[in-house]
Structure 1
Amino acid sequence: MNYQNTLAFAQEQDRQDPLYYFRDRFYFPQVNGQDAIYFCGNSLGLQPKSAQMYIDNEMYKWANLAVEGHFKGEEPWFNYHELLAAGAARVVGAKESEVVVMNQLTVNLHLMLVSFYRPQGKRFKIITEGGAFPSDQYALETQTKFHGYNPDEAIIELFPKEGEHTLRTEDILQSIKEHGDELALVMMGGINYYTGQVFDMEAITKAGHEAGAFVGFDLAHAAGNVLLKLHDWDVDFAVWCTYKYLNSGPGGTSGVFVHERFGNDTDLPRFAGWWGHDAGERFKMQKGFKPMPGAAGWQLSNSQILPMAVHRASLQLFDEAGGMEVLRAKSEKLTGYLEYLINDVPVGKDVLEMITPQDPQARGSQISLLVKQNSRLLFDKLMEAGIIVDYREPNVIRIAPTPLYNSFEEVYRFSEILHECLEGVK
């Protein structure tokens, strides 16, 4: 695409954008009495205006039906989670039976590790990305300790080459091959939260399986952001949150993918709970766990109705927008425009360095800037000017234009304000 650094170009792109009016379906925070330019969907997505209606429906049932809301009225709570499965499956490229919405992300990660981290003999090691999001680090660390291993010996962290900011796919695959006979699990983020790098999940899964290991992904920054084909890629398991690109509220519910190869495997170890038991026999209150088929058999407790209601509102918007292919197409253009405009800002790499891959296929809706001078001051000035972005220690500003509610004009305005703020922090 031939970008131009003009307001007229940005406004013309918005006029041609079939998704432009979806921004009217969200609430924007106010800064200085005006809508903020909100480029922080990789941390917390905006609130869909329809979320209140979905919550109100469940509050009405609670007020008028109380406990009977589990079984009476439209959409009883007993099987409310089933209303989310098809939409969630479309987002991550799965079969409906392979997906369940439940709990929160790190809880679900631990549940998956119970089933898919099964060290035996010399095959006890885990490959993961170096500097993964802390929850993933802590989960892997404590799981290896739980099995009696030293995390420093059991966890192999992969870091970029000296002078580089992102991992090379060939290095990931080579490490899997090198450690193959010791490898129990490959567990990585689908997207690195810090750099915005999208990992080649298909190639990593294939290599992990060839080495005899299970393969899983934390899709916190990937679900609702990039095209995923978990079933076709033969991924064993995945987990994700819903409060980032999936716009489902702070502390929102989480999603789980379990490939259909394991959906009815009753011999696979798991931690069981009431809601994962056969629904037809659940209220017999008897001993002897009999799992629901598919991913639903990993449920523990009854559904979180209010967070799920918000998630349902958001999933409806994804379907109305035409699904992930449509959203991803705009995302690549929007993020590409952001990259073009940042590169047009007249500063050198001694001030700003983009650490996100330039290849559109290797990044999501995010550009991470390494700010080498007065990084916190620059961030503060952007926020004061009505640009809501994200700061990560020690000196990275993450900018995430989101296709459902951000515009090309906002990207253009951001570049103008970035230039002004850079002048003010020299």
Structure 2
Amino acid sequence: MGNTFAQFFCTFCYNGKQCIRTILPNAPIAFDEKMGVFGHTNKPVPWAVGDEECVNGIAEIVGAHPSEVALANGLTVNIHVLLTAFYKPTEKRHKILLESKAFPSDHYAIESQIRLHGRKVEDSMLCLEPREGEDTLRMEDIEAYIEKHGDEIAVIFFSGIQYYTGQLFDMSRITAIGHKKGCLVGWDLAHAFANVPLALTAWDVDFACWCTYKYGSSGAGGLAGLYVNKRFANDKRERLLGWWSHKLDTRFAMTNELDLDTGANGYRISNPPAFLVTGILGFLKVYKKTSMSELRNKSLCLTGYLEFLIEHYFSDDKTSDSAVRVQIMTPKDPAQRGCQLSLKFNIDIGKVYQKLVARGCAVDKRYPHVIRVAPVHFYNSFLDVWRFVNVLRECVKEL
């Protein structure tokens, strides 16, 4: 068995061109026969710095200086990487504030970080709830809560766009309010990256992270990103470390004496996965044809059209003879949403979902009440929106 594995490994390394090209026929990174370890330095995109080839483009999308951005790991790993560095609880400040229905992985990561510091989740994790009978948080309630409890909060960690409701938070304002109370402010931008315009540096955000497999179109498990404000460029705070935290110039000297890289690069841990870098490079090639401003304008029109059709066909007076109700949970204010509209049903969404999928609609169900619909500005059209609503009407009639 050992010999078989060794033979496979060597074939992959030295004669892997046909195999790899079958998987990635148009890969922008060099995968050539008999390349082996030299792929780490061979052009056009050496494996060892493939992530850095993506940084300028990604920095533009998130509104940051390239030195503040790194591509590494997956989203939840980056949450841990950043919280390990920035969550330093004291007796006075030990709480982390998040929205009550934050993505489960955010909850789990924050809970584990609190426990790792020897504290109790029920004492140190604050989950901000919408008002009774409402689905989304009001900005004035967020501000009032931070103003009242800010002296106890070490970190505010919100989602840029709430995954369930589709609500886009005022990141600039929340960051400023948090800083005024002495809190560090970080953002999970999983649903905001490449969805809405971002200006992390201008907003003076402390840290942020995101995945790229949603609006970044890199595929499930695609390479994630992180942002660290330039104020911390030379900060030596304790963090998770690995050899990719070490400066490139001396990384391969193998002295076992860390020469910590500056900026966001110092928060990387391991070498970049070349296959995952190709997805980012492909996405950026498409992005160069447009801009976040143009994409945002199209997105506002697409979601506005979707909202109009939903309200036209599913308002109470149009469905008075039906037991099925469809409401838009996402805020009506276009400034408080991105590509996504969350449709709230009063019936089993599993049945609605099955009928939609059977008719070729790629939507997402989130129990207990929501089906998420996202006309994506990169590739969806007004015709797509119109066809979806007509399919939804058919499904509702059947139910």
* TM-score greater than 0.5 by the shorter chain: yes
Could you tell me how far 1:289 is from its partner in structure 2? Answer: 1.7
The alignment status of 1:59 with 2:27, answered yes or no, reads no
Equivalent residue for 2:138, pick from 168, 189, 202: 168
Letter in 2 for 1:293: T
Contact 1:123 1:183 in 2 (8 A): yes
User: What are the ranges of 5 or more consecutive residues in structure 1 without an aligned counterpart?
Assistant: 1-50
Contact 2:96 2:156 in 1 (8 A): yes
Letter in 2 for 1:276: S
Could you tell me how far 1:54 is from its partner in structure 2? Answer: 4.6
Contact 2:314 2:326 in 1 (8 A): no
Partner of 2:332: 358
Partner of 1:278: 247
Partner of 1:112: 82
Partner of 2:176: 206
Contact 1:58 1:305 in 2 (8 A): no
Could you tell me how far 1:227 is from its partner in structure 2? Answer: 0.8
Could you tell me how far 1:56 is from its partner in structure 2? Answer: 6.6
Moved more, 51-60 or 413-422: 51-60
Partner of 2:280: 311
Per chain length, whose mean CA-contact separation is higher, i.e. which structure has more relative contact order (CA < 8 Å, sep 6+)? 1
Could you tell me how far 1:276 is from its partner in structure 2? Answer: 1.3
Partner of 2:102: 132
Cα distance in 2 between the residues matched to 1:238 and 1:116: 11
Cα distance in 1 between the residues matched to 2:314 and 2:137: 28
Letter in 1 for 2:67: S
Deviating above 3 A after TM superposition, structure 1's stretches of 4 or more consecutive aligned residues are 51-54
**Secondary structure at 1:281's aligned position in 2?**
helix
Contact 1:219 1:241 in 2 (8 A): yes
Letter in 1 for 2:268: Q
Deviations 1:330-353 (A, max 9, x none): 001001100000001145386112
For residues 9-20 of structure 1, what are the structure 2 equivalents within 5 Å? none
The alignment status of 1:417 with 2:383, answered yes or no, reads no
Moved more, 69-78 or 145-154: 69-78
Partner of 1:391: 365
Letter in 2 for 1:343: E
Cα distance in 2 between the residues matched to 1:73 and 1:235: 35
For residues 41-52 of structure 1, what are the structure 2 equivalents within 5 Å? 52=24
> How many residues are matched?
371
Partner of 2:306: 338
For residues 127-206 of structure 1, what are the structure 2 equivalents within 5 Å? 127-206=97-176
Partner of 2:260: 291
**Secondary structure at 1:217's aligned position in 2?**
strand
Contact 2:349 2:367 in 1 (8 A): no
Equivalent residue for 1:325, pick from 288, 293, 318: 293
Contact 1:58 1:306 in 2 (8 A): no
Distance 1:236 1:159, change over 3 A: same
Q: Percent identity?
A: 44
Moved more, 344-353 or 181-190: 344-353
Partner of 1:41: none
**Secondary structure at 2:248's aligned position in 1?**
coil
**Secondary structure at 2:70's aligned position in 1?**
strand
Cα distance in 2 between the residues matched to 1:323 and 1:251: 25
Deviations 1:150-186 (A, max 9, x none): 1111011001101111001111111111112111000
Partner of 1:100: 70
Partner of 2:17: none
Could you tell me how far 1:53 is from its partner in structure 2? Answer: 4.8
Distance 1:228 1:56, change over 3 A: closer
Could you tell me how far 1:57 is from its partner in structure 2? Answer: 4.1
Contact 1:111 1:271 in 2 (8 A): yes
Cα distance in 1 between the residues matched to 2:29 and 2:124: 48
Moved more, 347-356 or 89-98: 347-356
Partner of 2:238: 269
Partner of 2:191: 221
**Secondary structure at 2:257's aligned position in 1?**
coil
- Provide the aligned C-alpha RMSD in A: 1.4
**Secondary structure at 1:196's aligned position in 2?**
coil
Letter in 2 for 1:150: K
Cα distance in 2 between the residues matched to 1:198 and 1:95: 23
Contact 1:54 1:310 in 2 (8 A): no
Could you tell me how far 1:382 is from its partner in structure 2? Answer: 1.1
Letter in 1 for 2:74: Q
Contact 1:240 1:255 in 2 (8 A): yes
Deviations 1:311-333 (A, max 9, x none): 1110121121x221111110010
Cα distance in 1 between the residues matched to 2:140 and 2:209: 25
Contact 2:69 2:225 in 1 (8 A): yes
Could you tell me how far 1:375 is from its partner in structure 2? Answer: 2.3
Moved more, 238-247 or 379-388: 379-388
User: What are the ranges of 5 or more consecutive residues in structure 2 without an aligned counterpart?
Assistant: 1-22
**Secondary structure at 2:230's aligned position in 1?**
coil
Partner of 2:350: 376
Partner of 1:408: 382
Contact 1:242 1:255 in 2 (8 A): yes
TM-score, normalised on structure 2? 0.90
Letter in 2 for 1:65: M
Contact 2:28 2:45 in 1 (8 A): no
Letter in 2 for 1:290: D
Could you tell me how far 1:385 is from its partner in structure 2? Answer: 1.3
Letter in 1 for 2:281: R
TM-score, normalised on structure 1? 0.85
Cα distance in 2 between the residues matched to 1:255 and 1:311: 11
Contact 2:30 2:43 in 1 (8 A): no
Cα distance in 2 between the residues matched to 1:361 and 1:224: 16
Could you tell me how far 1:113 is from its partner in structure 2? Answer: 0.2
